[in-house]
Amino acid sequence: MRENCECEDEECGCSNNECNCENCSCDEEGFLAINHPAPDFTAEAYHEGKIKKVSLEDYRGKWVIVFFYPADFTFVCPTELGEMAERYETFKKLGCEILSVSTDTPFVHKAWHDASDTIKKIKFPMVADPTHEISYKYETIIPEEGVALRGSFLIDPDGILKAYEVHDNSIGRSADELIRKLEAAIFVRENGGEVCPANWKPGQKTLHPGLDLVGKI
């Protein structure tokens, strides 16, 4: 069952994200599952020198990567965010926006942006989640620490979650691998019936699943 299910009924459906119990407090539209709507959120963000409200809904029609990290003024985080900043134009050319998220306040984001030459490179919104609401929705929160795991969530232009990965906080991520996944997701969306094999990159061969391929790969 989901953590916030209060009905204690094994038949309510929470265990498979199909809750049908009137006594359950979980949000049926907000559960996390591939090929289902990504949990929506509205929050403050530090962006372009200002603190402003952003909503996932604002980016409908674009690809979005929601990029959770534990905390500002840390160690692995600036290496990841710096790499994302350096590849930001590549993401934008692919029609993708990046929303980085941590449990810091927007004021801490600003202070880090002002203090760090690496973080100064960031031009995408740095979303603040001090209430942990977004981190709970995306199941990245570590409750006893008050910080998020390293989670990357790829959302399509219709707001549908297409891929995600969550790391232990000692393991950094690769912007190039996120770009590869994004390019594969774009190709599959635009070419119905085709699928991308391991390590696929644009220009390489894809597969068209069918009985003629069974046992031949």
DSSP type of residue 160: B
Determine the Cα–Cα distance for residues 180 and 87; give it in Å rounded to an integer: 12
DSSP type of residue 203: T
Determine the Cα–Cα distance for residues 65 and 101; give it in Å rounded to an integer: 10
Determine the Cα–Cα distance for residues 164 and 66; give it in Å rounded to an integer: 9
User: Residue type at 116?
Assistant: S
β-pairing, 126-128 vs 42-47, is: antiparallel
Buried b / exposed e across 194-205, counting CB within 10 Å, b at 16+?
eebeeebeeeee
Determine the Cα–Cα distance for residues 112 and 72; give it in Å rounded to an integer: 7
Residue of 26, 77, 96, 196 marked catalytic? 77
Task: Using alpha carbons, select from 145, 115, 142, 140 the residue that is nearest to residue 127.
Answer: 140
DSSP type of residue 38: P
Any idea what the Cα angle at residue 139 is, between residues 17 and 59, rounded to 5°? 90
Is 12 considered catalytic here? no
Catalytic (active-site) positions? 77
